[in-house]
A and B are shown apart, each in its own frame.
Chain A
């Protein structure tokens, strides 16, 4: 036997192999093996049963039916009229690859007790104060944070209001301030300034086409999904929304009813509105003056509502525009805005007031605890960083790993949707103060800790969140079994009549409004937008992005002429270069966009490069796109 014989034998064996099942069988078997890796979630075998539940990922708290196999949820369906895409896959979040499952200290594994000890040490030793930044205010956990912070002498911080911002701005104009909800079913026309009204802003069942009894006019710089399915899209130049609002007010002033003229600060509002004729506004907005006049007449003819809430990821639209929208609502008769009663709270839960993060003193926080229980809360770090003391300790109690990985000293995992009972904040699109609970259908992984329990232990309170939640339910007077079974407690609707006392909030002047209306356009105006649901499930993000139904995070589009000016081409790697940092983007051409506009689909990375301007809007000033 020589080497050549071995080669011949091997050749024969290789030829023979093709005529055996070995290669073909191994191909099939290894393909199936790859479907069963141990870390992949497996659907348990067992009885398939449907359970009624509530989705508490957003304030809408939609009624869902959870199909469970062997007790584990494998699918969610709407129990009533509709469910948003995020709701259909909300049960995926527990298995999301970015889900935080263990405590991390600067990227290294740690224990929750380490984070607690470090926080306690900071509380007892350093000057300055403790603050909790609640990214989803309005929950029972939020009330408990405020209660515990009262014991600790701390501050309860909330991010800028985005969804519900117009209602909040209008609330400050009332003779007797009450919480307001925007009730779309009460109006015939809604003028929406860049608000994702039909795409996640409201409970989908209330804005789905068959149920919609109101007309939507969307004034927005890009053809968003809301703009695409609205009754009319006003392709406005970016940053000129306040101009359009003032021009509409200019037209409305001519037909003003007497009561509005008697309101406080009316002269200030009139001065701003009169200075902005439709002809002048047309130069900034790109909308024909006659269309502006017609729009004002349409709004006046029927009960109408103006909304300027902004995008949950792209951020608020600025105080000036929100004030102008609120003033327009007062001029139009406060249609579509209704008082929303408060949901009862146990008597001994007194707590500190909430403080907008922008109002916190710079350098005042030595211990910051961030509560991020669900996906979708964007907040630029540039809003948080100035508030921290030099050696501040940051503890993020979060469901995901990457969001605060760079800034937080400790990342502490929290239970996610369906792993613990959670309540939703009161919805902003219904006057009914509702209390809903999502059930605990999944076992929470070892090591997760409810954010409320973390703050409670710092305050020396050993009562667990689950027990506190039961206290709250008792105080409300709801039946815990019905809530657990997907029921909803609804407070009786408030009967108060809304009456405005002023037309502009204190501090808002005609000069500020006009300055916002006449702000020079940026050479490259970045219009950021995001989608809450994209973070819920990697599967959904993949399906929608691959089908081009949604832009993937970090995808950017511009008019072909803009791309020529920027000397960038589609398909080549590019970078969004800003004074705050650089962000790699995937460019595509979109002829629906105006020249000089870059529409950026923003993920968490966007919050690292955007800044809050003097009006509170999130912008990316001085941006340019350069080849990578």
Chain B
């Protein structure tokens, strides 16, 4: 009986290990960003820029997302500093006029519609509320993409996060609903799934 219990428990623990330890490592693959980017240089004392200086709103109110190359080239037509990343950026992207193909950490599925404008302009939410300290980072975090769904870990969150066992991260539907519920706002299906 003891032997049987031990074998059963071994199987049970093996599953737990595979599920909680191996799955997160195998489910996601890491993809490289086109170049290293330092937010802190731009937003800190040296650059003293605000988020919206680069991540701006268009005239029609829609959010432009990651700035286009022409925005960056306004300052970086030539290298302003001595870092290798900036020189690489100017040589490989600015000079040839090649748009960097950034991987977007917060890209939502196509069936989810998230407008920045009402959240930032009307609700006065700080960028950090959803994006954390991203604006103060010195290097870009790893871009981890789900091998099955194709979405970023930063959108889906960590598997254990749902149970409070890990720092959750992610920007999932539950997070949107929770925040709306907390603030007494509507959260019908068609608000986001248009």
Contact = CB atoms under 8 A, between A and B. Distances in A.
Interface in A541-578: none
Contacts of B15: 12-17, 19-20, 22
A10 interface: yes
B11 A9 contact: yes
Contact of A5 (B7, B14, B150): B7
Nearest to A9: B11
Contacts of B110: 35-36, 42-43
A19 B149 contact: no
Contacts, number: 97
Contact of B12 (A12, A26, A30): A12
Q: What secondary structure prevails in chain A residues at the interface with B?
A: helix
Contacts of A15: 8, 11-12, 15
A311 to B, nearest CB: 34
Nearest to A22: B19
Contact of B8 (A9, A28, A30): A9
B14 A16 contact: yes
B187 to A, nearest CB: 19
Contact of A21 (B14, B19, B111, B149): B19
Given A21-B19, A42-B110, A47-B58, A13 B146 contact: no
A22 B148 contact: no
Contacts of A13: 11-12, 14-15
Nearest to B4: A8
B5 to A, nearest CB: 9
Contacts of A28: 149
B140 interface: no
A42 B4 CA distance: 53
**Max chain A Cβ within 10 angstroms of own Cβ: one of B19, B60, B64:** B19
B148 A30 contact: yes
A32 B151 contact: yes
Nearest to B63: A48
A22 B15 CA distance: 9
Given A11-B8, A25-B23, A20 B18 contact: yes
A32 B173 CA distance: 13
Interface string B23-64: 100010000000000000000000000000000001010101
Given A9-B11, A16-B13, 11 more contacts: A8-B7, A12-B9, A12-B15, A15-B11, A21-B20, A21-B159, A22-B18, A25-B159, A29-B27, A29-B149, A47-B62
Interface of B: 3-4, 7-16, 18-20, 23, 27, 58, 60, 62, 64-65, 107, 109-111, 146, 148-151, 159-160, 162
Interface of A: 5, 8-17, 19-22, 25-26, 28-30, 32-33, 35-36, 42-43, 45, 47-49
